[in-house]
Amino acid sequence: MLVDSHAHIYDEYYKNIDDIVESAKENGIVKIINCATSINNIENVIKISHEHNFYYALGIHPEDVTNVNEKIKEKLENYIVKNLNDKNFIAIGEIGLDYYYGKENKEDQIKLLEFQMALAKKYNKSVIIHSREATLDTINILKKYNIKGVIHCYSGSYETAMEYIKIGYKLGIGGLITFKNCNLKNYINKIGLKNIVLETDSPYMTPEPFRGKQNEPKYVLETAKFLSKIFNISLEELGKITTKNCYKIFDIKD
Ligand SMILES: [Zn+2]
C-alpha cells in the first residue's frame, strides 16, 4: 500500500498512461498525486487525473515564472475555483523557488510563490513545494502562512529538514536517496519516518537500480524498499506509515 505523492503524468511525457497505471497497481501503488507545473498543462492534468482517479495539485512551477502575468494568475485561480469541490483536487502545487539557473528573476519567483500561497490559504488547500538553492527564502515565505504541505524531492541537511517539519511540512523522499552520492541516507533515520512521504517526481529522478530510465510511479517501490532497510522495518509497515502521513498532510479521507 504505497502512494506516489508527486508525479507528472501527462501527455507531454507519456504515451502509454494506461500501462503506467497498470504497472503501478501491480507494484502496490494505490494512489498517485499528479502535479501541474504550468498554465499550459493544468487542463491535461485535470483530464488525466479524472480518467485515472488520481489525486491532483494545481499550480505554476517557478521555472515557468517568465510566462506568468496577471491574466495567467487569474486563469489559475479560475481553475482552482472550478475544481474546488472535486475531492481529488488536494493541493496547490507544484510551486516554489528555484535559483539553480540564476537569481535574475528571483523577485518574480517570490511574488508568484506568495500569490499561490495566498490562494492555498484562501481556498484551504495544502501545498507542494519545490525549493532548489533557495532554502532561506523558501522558509521565510512558508513561515508567513500557516499552511501544511510537502517539501518535494528533499535532499537538504538535517537542520533544514527539522525547520520545515517544525512549521508543519513533511518531506517528499524519492529516487534521489538511492543515489550513491546522496548524503540524506546518512541522517534520514534521525529525521524519522513520521515526517516522510514517498514520491517519484516521474518522469525524472528514477531510483537505483533503474537510474537512467524514464521514471514512473511503479518505482516508488524501489525507494520504499531502500528506506525499509534503513529504518529496519517491513515494507508493509513502511507503506502503511508513509501513506498515512500523506493522507494526513493533504486531508485525504480514504
Ligand atoms: Zn515535480
Judged against a pLDDT cut of 80, whether residue 254 lies above it is answered with no
List Cβ neighbours of 123 (8 Å cut-off, separation of 6 or more).
80, 81, 84, 92
Which residue do the cell numbers 510511479 mark?
217
Name the band, by pLDDT with cuts 50, 70 and 90, for residue 242.
very high
Write down the pLDDT at residue 253: 87
Dist CA 89 CA 224 (whole Å): 25
Average pLDDT over residues 58-83: 97
The helix (run of H) or strand (run of E) holding residue 121 is helix 106-122
CA 166 / ligand 1 centre spacing (Å): 23
CA dist., res. 48 & res. 82, Å (int): 16
Cα–ligand 1 centroid distance for 37 (angstroms): 8
CB 116 within 8 A of CB 79: no
CA distances from 179 to 157, 206, 212 (A): 16, 10, 11
Give the number of residues written for the chain: 254
Q: What does the mean pLDDT of the chain come to?
A: 97
Q: Are 221 and 208 in contact (CB under 8 A)?
A: no
State the chain's maximal CA–CA distance in angstroms: 51
Q: Are 225 and 198 in contact (CB under 8 A)?
A: no
Question: Given 3.10.20.600, 3.40.50.720, 3.40.640.10, 3.20.20.140, which CATH number is that of 2-249?
Answer: 3.20.20.140
Task: Please say whether the dihedral angle defined by the alpha carbons of residues 159, 165, 167 and 169, taken in this order, is positive or negative.
Answer: positive
Q: Please, are residues 190 and 165 in contact by the beta-carbon 8 Å criterion?
A: no
Model confidence at 217, pLDDT cuts 50, 70, 90, reads: very high
Tell me how far apart the alpha carbons of residues 249 and 254 are, in angstroms, rounded to a whole number.
13
Rounded CA-CA distance 207/14 in Å is 18
Sequence letter at residue 131: S
In single-letter form, the type of residue at position 243 comes to T
pLDDT tens across 9-56, in order?
999 999 999 999 999 999 999 999 999 999 999 999 999 999 999 999
Cα 206 to ligand 1 centroid, rounded to whole Å: 12
pLDDT at 102: 87
| Domain positions in the chain | 2-249
Residue 193 has pLDDT above 90, yes or no: yes
Q: Which residues contact 224 (CB under 8 A, 6 or more apart)?
A: 2, 198, 235, 238, 239, 242
Task: Report percent pLDDT > 70 for the chain.
Answer: 100
C-alpha cell at 214: 524514464
Distance 216 CA to ligand 1 centre (A): 12
| Over residues 198-206, mean pLDDT | 96
Per-position DSSP letters for 90-101, written without gaps between them: EEEEEEEEE-TT
Q: How far is the CA of 153 from the centre of ligand 1 (A)?
A: 8
Q: Cα(36) to centroid of ligand 1, in Å? A: 8
Residue 7 alpha carbon to ligand 1 centre in Å: 6
- Extract long-range pairs of 161-166: CB within 8 Å, 24+ residues apart: 161/191, 161/195, 162/191, 163/139, 164/139, 165/191, 165/195
